[in-house]
Chains A and B, each alone.
Chain A
Amino acid sequence: LTALGSVRPGAWLAAALVLAFLLLFLVAPVATVFVAAFADADGTPTLGHVAAFFSQGLMREAFWNSLWVASASAFFASLIAVPLAYLTVRFRFRGALAIQTLGVLPLVMPPFVGAVALQLVFGRSGTVNLLLNEWLGFTVPVMEGLAGVVFVESIHYFPFVLLNLTVALRNIDGAMEEAAQNLGCRGFRLFRRVVFPLALPGFVAGASLVFVKVFDDLGTPLVMGQTNLLAPQAYLRITRVGLEDPLGYVTSVILVLFSVLAMALAARTLKGRDFATLQKGGAGLAKRRLTPWQSVLAYGWIALVLVVTLAPHAGVLLLSFASVWSFSPLPDGYTLAHYETVFRDSAGTIRNTLLYCGIAAGLDVAIGAAIAYLMLRTNLPGRRALDGLATAALAVPGIVLAIGYLRVFQGVTIPGTDTLLTSTWLLIAIAYAVRRLPYALRSCVAALQQLHVSLEEAAESLGATKARTVRRIVLPLMAGGLLAGFVTSFITAAVELSATILLVSADSQAPMSYGIYLYLQSVAGRGPGAALGVLAIAVVAVGTWISHVVVERTQRR
């Protein structure tokens, strides 16, 4: 291998910086949690805690339940997202922009708020069931049991598939599709044999994200009263017995391990295949027309999905204006008082969210692009490990990461002051960056994977230096992917709660997600909580729309 000699110093430096960040803010905190899971009271290693875990029938049941819920959610999320993505990218279609923007909306709502809102619409005494019962005399228990969790999670996380698949579809060389059409390939066969396989990296990236997110999700099952899943069990143990409880750590360790396994399996299915196409698609490709009956089907499906997807938003919006809403299809009356309360008491949370998530998403795109480049374009030893390490962050529940931070940085002060690092908001922003890095990384990798290396070789053979090639060729062509990464990272960080709960050390540091959570913790606070939720959705929707416009513009260039 000529590898080592050809690795440039810049690559080494980038790798070293990325590695230092990951070691300090991901590996060390998680390691302390692992140690706690395998240490006896006097510090000697033991497997006793693990044995205790597996001897519990409840824990085994929780494990299978988690696996089932996560798989089913990934399946249903795909079912929603794949038609949406294909239709909007490949067909002449009115309202495509609206669907792209609306499709992201579920992500901008903290999952627990989504679950609360869906209860209002689809719950036992929700609008739909009250009306059904009144008119037809029966109710539909969509929000009950594990199936209810799958329902909420699919609606909440399908945008992961949509976002990634859309970028992948756009990047497919239009010539491939045209060639297939010239050879007589049409309709579903064209999609199944040509388009979908070429977009597979985007799809697998999205679907595996859904699986892991659902596997780790805490808020939704808790709000819906489902405790027999792994993440709630870890949380319930740690908060019931206290931080000393080893079973909580064992559960965390198992959560981490299985999520890593799922990601590794996804990576394996893509291994050894070539998804690169020479040209970027999009602008050059003529969008096809739908036949009339195809239009009916397409619009019908999209309308149905949109109605269900937007139900939580409608619920939250109504709630934010409702004076009293109790056991009735619609609120009793309407008021602006909740918005007044929010602007008077909680304006700071909006600023905090923008600040923390901006920092986190910026860090993520920088690190993600660096790792993608190192992995796909250099022979740096251990580059796959770097990718694996960053991706592993996905498998770390927020609560585990936060506990790790509190342990690792306990008593550490900011240099030159006597302020504790753990009492600042810096750790919140860093925790967001670490937790959301995998999303940005996937987008960066998918973008670079689809960029054929011959373009860079051409630049270099024309005399451009490596740095210049990266700056003038690689980054501009990756821009769509980078931006998608930034947005995914930003908006999912904006709704992060589990790490936030533990790391906030004063209400004035609270971001919006935590502000909403606080409001929802009080009897008369649902209104202001919903109002703040609406503002959060607005902030992030505007950001998403702007990014979409930018993506469109770069594509046209």
Chain B
Amino acid sequence: MKSTLLAGAAVLLAALPLAAAAGTVTVVTSFPKELTQAYKTAFEKANPTIKLEILNKNTVQGIAYVRELPVGQRPEVFWASAPDAFEVLAGLSLLEPVGDLANKAAPQKVGNYPINNPQGLYLGQALAGYGLMWNTRYLQANKVPVPREWADLTKAAYFGHVAMSSPSRSGTTHLTVETLLQGEGWEKGWRQLLEIAGNSAAVTERSFGVPDGVNNGQFGVGLVIDFFGLAGKYSGFPVEFHYPSVTAVVPANIGLVAGAKNPAEAKKFIAFSVSQEGQQLLLDPKISRLPILPPEQLGGKVPAGYPNAFEIAKRAKVHFDSDLSEARYNVVSALFDQAITFRLKELQAATKAIHDAEAALAKKPNAQGAALVKQARDAAFSPVVGPQMAGDKNFLALFAANKKSADVNKQVTGLEDRWNAAAREQYAKARTLAEQAGALAR
């Protein structure tokens, strides 16, 4: 019996190709399956001789994947949301110029952000803003008001109804957090983030966990990149999406990897992705991304009420600075995880105590109680890293240094441990203060 099994296995092995054949274009991307499948189908139909292979990796893993492959074995195309990722690839000389493939009909800039990389190393392929999505049934059932601005989510009415992801987990969440920090400033931005996080039911591991949870009604409101909310809405879920005034419109990009097997075919795909035909695919309800072409150039295919990225960019308050974002990337991610993701339970408890105390004081005002609540708020919602430190070059350099070195590693992990401990201490203190304040109002 064993020999027949082995023979069967051998036949199967011989019959199946072990790896992608020549003439294929491999695309490393963090984009969801609906989007990649639509492009694969349309592109292969237009170019029957070329086969498109998709490889789904999150942005950080994608960079590591490309970097570790030898020349001649690399995938052809890198396609992802975060502009920072392309800066990293460019810094490693892993990108070939593709400036001549750009669609001439596309505007130069969205807001004041260039759509295509000025050095021609990568092209904008779609546009994205950040905002709030909510489940209308959930809000109605729980009698929660519809939010318009980030600041709304700090209110007591939203306690336990909000969801967000972590910047260390997803490029898009990082962009959202960075947008908020750039729009409100370090101190106020973090304060707001902490207040919103205190109201959160969960910090999801996957960025996709947020829209998914809002779509199916686990969460009421989520902080998301626009196409997550729009795709849910246009796919028929009872959800709505809104751009708050603190938002930024940033292109998602596509680039040609240096040292790939089939650059000529890959260029055809890149050109296709920014062509009118390629841009129209973005309007599919299940994809719902914003094209880099203005609506009048999309052949009348834009559905009524579809957001116009260029209009949003005009009224957006934040002019996204990707250099600043890249410089403090690791600090923002690490701080968020230590103070919020890993200490969420304590932060939630402190926030609940503060909301309770404030409700009690509203009914029965008490000066001493009000002072205590203010102290509690300061304890719970001040970032453990101040603005001076966050701007300090040496401090930032530490986080970019080689972590393989035990000394550097010890310093970084020591810092992270202190943040973690400080956050826990502050939340406990805030909770005690708030409970004292509540007792005074009783």
Contact = CB atoms under 8 A, between A and B. Distances in A.
B61 A506 contact: no
Nearest to A514: B56
B209 interface: yes
Interface string A295-327: 000000000000000000000000000011111
Given A236-B168, A240-B168, A522 B33 contact: yes
Contacts of B417: 55-58
B9 A359 contact: yes
B333 A362 contact: no
Interface in A91-121: 119-120
A227 to B, nearest CB: 6
A521 interface: yes
A53 B228 CA distance: 37
Residue of A58, A222, A223, A246 with most chain B CB atoms under a 10 A cut-off: A58
Interface in B1-19: 2, 5-6, 9, 12, 16, 18-19
B236 to A, nearest CB: 5
A465 interface: no
Contacts of A228: 342
B160 to A, nearest CB: 9
Contacts of A227: 203, 205, 341-342
Contacts of A507: 36, 53-56
A123 B286 CA distance: 26
B105 interface: no
Interface stretch (B176-184, B371-379, B382-390, B398-406): B398-406
A56 B218 contact: no
Contacts of B215: 326, 523, 526
B137 interface: yes
Interface string B277-311: 00000000110000000000000000000000000
Dominant SS among interface residues on chain B: helix
A247 B216 contact: no
B135 A327 contact: yes
B211 A523 contact: yes
Contact of B18 (A57, A124, A239, A419): A419
Interface in A484-536: 502, 504-509, 518-526, 528
B212 A326 contact: no
Interface in B391-434: 402-410, 413-414, 416-417, 420-421, 424
A326 B216 contact: yes
Nearest to A218: B205
Given A228-B342, A247-B409, A326 B60 contact: no
Given A41-B405, A410-B68, A525 B32 contact: yes
Interface string A448-477: 000000000000000000000000000000
A522 B35 CA distance: 9
A85 B244 CA distance: 57
Interface residues of B, number: 84
B12 A355 contact: yes
Interface string A319-351: 000011111100000000000000001000000
Interface string B30-74: 001111110000000000000001111010110010001110110
A53 B239 CA distance: 43
A246 B404 contact: yes
Contacts, number: 210
A366 B35 CA distance: 43
Interface in B197-250: 201-206, 208-209, 211-212, 215-218, 227-228, 231-232, 235-239
Contacts of B217: 125, 326-328
A507 B31 CA distance: 13
Contacts of B410: 48, 51-52
B238 A225 contact: no
A135 to B, nearest CB: 14
A246 B407 CA distance: 12
A223 B73 CA distance: 34
Nearest to B64: A243
B337 interface: yes
A424 B202 contact: no
A504 B409 contact: no
Contacts of A508: 20, 53
A244 B342 contact: no
B351 interface: no
A244 B406 CA distance: 12
A547 interface: no
B26 interface: yes
Interface of A: 36, 39-41, 46, 48-49, 51-53, 55-58, 119-120, 123-125, 145, 222-223, 225, 227-228, 232, 236, 239-247, 323-328, 345, 355, 358-359, 362, 366, 406, 410-411, 414, 418-420, 423-426, 502, 504-509, 518-526, 528
22 contacts: A40-B404, A48-B406, A53-B413, A55-B413, A57-B417, A58-B342, A123-B218, A125-B217, A240-B60, A240-B334, A246-B409, A326-B238, A328-B217, A358-B9, A406-B68, A419-B18, A423-B73, A425-B19, A426-B18, A507-B56, A523-B208, A524-B285
Interface of B: 2, 5-6, 9, 12, 16, 18-20, 26, 32-37, 53-56, 58, 60-61, 64, 68-70, 72-73, 135, 137-138, 141, 168-169, 201-206, 208-209, 211-212, 215-218, 227-228, 231-232, 235-239, 285-286, 330, 333-334, 337-338, 341-342, 345, 402-410, 413-414, 416-417, 420-421, 424
A-B pairs with the 8 shortest C-beta distances?
Answer: A48-B406, A327-B217, A522-B32, A41-B405, A523-B231, A524-B286, A222-B205, A240-B168
Given A236-B168, A362-B6, A414-B18, 7 more contacts: A55-B414, A56-B416, A119-B216, A225-B209, A243-B68, A520-B212, A522-B35
